[in-house]
Structure 1
Amino acid sequence: MNVEVRRLMPGEVDQFTELIHLFRDVLETDLVTKSRPEHLQRLLARPDFVVFVARFANQVVGGLTAYVLPQYHTEKPVVYLYDIAVGTTHQGQGIGTALLTQLMQYCRRLGVEELFVQADQEDSQAIHFYRATGGFPMQVIQFTYPLNE
């Protein structure tokens, strides 16, 4: 299978939208993007927002989004992997690993100190994936403050 993995650039809003729909389906969320194409374009143009897609047969079959975060105690940033998913028919073929590898290479070129990602304790598939790709688990508790009720 010849899958192309690459970072999206400004102007590639259609592929970003395809990825958002894939996230909704694979991550089983009912969130529908309310963002206009102009907002997605602005995101793609930001140096602190990164989107990688995996394409096969002119279709987005996987991808990830990440945020580059500056730190105050060092000049080296950290990167937060926000979402990563591969379409169900393409899972288990190394696409997720290829996406993560591309992100890590990108981070190394930027001089990033650390890449981190969160996984729900119940998501055994994600936990297995992150362990299998060299991630080190940390026990943390995340608190969320809903602000728009």
Structure 2
Amino acid sequence: MPDSATPSFTIRPATVDDVDDLARLVRELAHYERDPDAAVATADHFREALFPREASPAAYAHVAERDGLVVGMAVWFASFSTWTGRRGLWLEDLFVEPAQRGLGIGKALLTELARVCTARGWTRLEWVVLDWNAPAIEFYRSQGAQPLTEWTTYRVAGDALGRLAGGSPS
């Protein structure tokens, strides 16, 4: 049990009331990752993706709350491994406000996702991290994560996605 000098926080599944905070934290993450214009998701996007009226959610989120304020988040979705024949959890974004770092919030968010995986019998918890983000890399390694250096992530987006979808040659 924490003593009175230990800052307290709560990790919980996000609710629809958290969508404004999720959008805010994603914008803060985009600034931290040196690409502020890339984060165009709005609270409405999060509401539709995480709390749809008639479909399954596209993603899920957990938030860290301290003193009544949302100060961190983990946004994730289920993945699938053809090698294990089982689901896994893909961590899309983990972010804690800079002023709240060093309190164990990031570790608590990651621990909660590991609990989700094990409780559901899922076999993997995976994510990507920018090569230059040394603090994040050090944190993830301290939690037992190992880099998969033999894999390279590829992405098709924007005009290239449109061309690929249309089957037009480059």
Sort the TM-score into its range (normalised by shorter chain): 0.7 to 0.9
| Higher normalized helix content (fraction of residues) | 2
Max Rg structure: 2
1:21 aligns with 2:24: yes
Q: CA deviation at 1:16?
A: 2.5
- In the alignment, is residue 103 of structure 1 matched against residue 109 of structure 2? no
2:8 aligned to which of 2, 12, 37: 2
Q: TM-score, normalised by structure 2?
A: 0.75
Structure with more relative contact order (C-alpha pairs < 8 Å, separation 6 or more): 1
For 2:154, give the aligned amino acid. F
1:137-148 paired onto structure 2 within 5 Å: 137-139=147-149, 140-148=151-159
CA distance in 2, matches of 1:148, 1:2: 46
User: CA separation in 2, counterparts of 1:142 and 1:114?
Assistant: 17
RMSD: 2.1
Aligned residue runs from structure 1 range 1-149, under 5 A:
1-8=7-14, 12-28=15-31, 29-30=35-36, 31-35=38-42, 37=44, 39-45=45-51, 46-47=56-57, 49-139=59-149, 140-148=151-159
Gaps in structure 2 of 5+ consecutive residues: 1-6, 161-170
Kept in 2, the 8 Å contact 1:48–1:69? The answer is no
How many residues get paired?
Answer: 145
In structure 1, runs of 5+ residues without a counterpart are none
Secondary structure at the counterpart of residue 92 of structure 2: strand
Identity %: 26
Q: Deviations over 1:115-144 (max 9, x none)?
A: 111111111111111101111111122222
